[in-house]
Amino acid sequence: MIIPFAALRDLRGKVTLVGGGFDPIHQGHIAYFQAAAQFGLPVLCSVDGDAYVARKHKPLLAIHNRIQVLDAIRYLQYTYQNPGSTAEVLEALRPALYVKGADWSGRLPADEVALCRAHDIEIRFVSTVLDSSSRLLQAFLQERGS
């Protein structure tokens, strides 16, 4: 279910939060969502907007397309289009769990860590099949000679 920002407060303490740009989406993302779902709470996926993705590469799929694809994934009960920062989502949502891939261990932004501590949000890192959307796109473009 795609939800608006105002609905985040209604889910406080009731969900696991995952997030990212997901452009392009790949098998590592599915493993990430599946691992987050195994903690037993509904999973909310915060999807970063086109401006965030554009800092890495030109978006392949616009945010409205990415969010529809992600919303169809069975491991995700809620999707949310994040027009701001993850810190803003953490502040409004205050999830029970904040799940990130193991590659983020020791690299989470300080403001996110501080918000999690202040609101007793548990951070968990999951080992999933790691890959990078940016790396996949770069490899594709190199293969094509672009």
Q: Is the pTM of this model over 0.85?
A: yes
pLDDT tens digits for range 53-85: 899 888 989 999 999 999 999 999 999 999 889
Mean pLDDT score across all residues of the chain: 90
Full set of structural domains in the chain with CATH: 2-144 (3.40.50.620)
Q: What pLDDT was estimated at residue 110?
A: 96
Residue type at 132 in one-letter notation: S
pLDDT tens digits for range 27-59: 888 999 999 999 999 999 999 999 998 998 889
CA distance 17 to 11: 11
- DSSP code, position 11: G
CA distance 81 to 136: 23
104 or 91: whose pLDDT is higher?
A: 91
CA torsion sign for 32, 64, 50, 46 is negative
